[in-house]
C-alpha cells in the first residue's frame, strides 16, 4: 500500500520503474520501513 502511494505521489509510470527506483532513494526506503 505504501508503495502504491509513492507511485501516485511521485508520478512514477509503472510498478517496474518504482521497484527500480526504490533502492536509489533513501527517503523512500525509510518511508517503507526498510533498514538502512
Residues 2-33: tens digit of each pLDDT: 999 999 999 999 999 999 999 999 999 999 99
Name the grid cell of 12: 512514477
CA distance 1 to 36: 20
Q: Identify the H or E element spanning 7.
A: helix 2-9
Residue 36: the pLDDT is 74
Count Cβ atoms below 10 Å from residue 16 Cβ, excluding itself.
9
pLDDT of residue 6: 96
User: Given this model, what pLDDT does residue 24 score?
Assistant: 96
Give the per-residue pLDDT at 35: 86
Amino acid at each position: 500500500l505504501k508503495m502504491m502511494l509513492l507511485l501516485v505521489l511521485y508520478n512514477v509510470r509503472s510498478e517496474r520503474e518504482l521497484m527500480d527506483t526504490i533502492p536509489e532513494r533513501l527517503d523512500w526506503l525509510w518511508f517503507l520501513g526498510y533498514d538502512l
